[in-house]
Amino acid sequence: MRLMVLLAGISLAATAAVAASPLGTPVSGARARAIMHERHEGMEAVGKSLKEIARELRGGSPNLAVVRASANRMANLSKRSAGWFRPGTGPNIGKTGAKAEIWQQPEDFAAKQRAFQQSAQAFTAAARSGDLTAVNARLSELDRTCKACHDDYRTKMKH
């Protein structure tokens, strides 16, 4: 009886640890594949937004409306990204650029994801201000947060 109570306690502790994971609760099956698809599409949209921003800022007179729209899209996607890396959506499920290390080092990954989210919000605020010096500085910061995560947690994907 004591062993059963001990095992039940361990099971509850393990369940609580997973539920408290910075990446959320585990998923499987069709739900996992749907999240992986949403993650892929979302990250593609983030990349597209960054390219649009860079193209505008490299030009002689950037269209700030384009920069602001892309910044807003990226900031919104960064908020949604918190749900894109749930346990059960890793490379063992299907094709993904996400490395297994995401789920092996969830606290570090979550910290880098928060840095990206904060940087995306700061960039959006700079874009709203219209101050191109601030916009360029925040873009450099945003690039660093993206690179920091990609360096550790993303594989090279071929489409």
At what angle are helices 64-80 and 106-129 packed, to 10 degrees?
A: 160
pLDDT value of residue 2: 44
Q: Which residues contact 78 (CB under 8 A, 6 or more apart)?
A: 46, 116, 117, 120, 121
pLDDT in tens, the chain (159 residues): 443 443 344 333 333 444 457 788 999 999 999 999 999 999 999 999 999 999 999 988 999 999 999 999 999 999 999 999 999 999 999 899 999 999 999 999 999 999 999 999 999 999 999 999 999 999 999 999 999 999 999 998 765
pLDDT value of residue 14: 37
Taking the C-alpha atoms of residue 85 and residue 106, their distance in angstroms, rounded to an integer, is 10
Q: Which residues contact 64 (CB under 8 A, 6 or more apart)?
A: 56, 127, 130
pLDDT value of residue 6: 37
pLDDT value of residue 17: 40
pLDDT value of residue 44: 96
pLDDT value of residue 15: 38
* Domain 27-153, architecture per CATH: Up-down Bundle (1.20)
Question: Would you mind telling me the total number of residues written for the chain in this entry?
Answer: 159
Q: Where are the domains of the chain?
A: 27-153
Is the model's pTM score more than 0.85?
A: no
pLDDT value of residue 9: 41
Tokens of residue 133, six digits: 């010096």
Q: Would you give the DSSP letter of residue 83?
A: G
CB 49 within 8 A of CB 70: yes
pLDDT value of residue 23: 87
pLDDT value of residue 59: 83
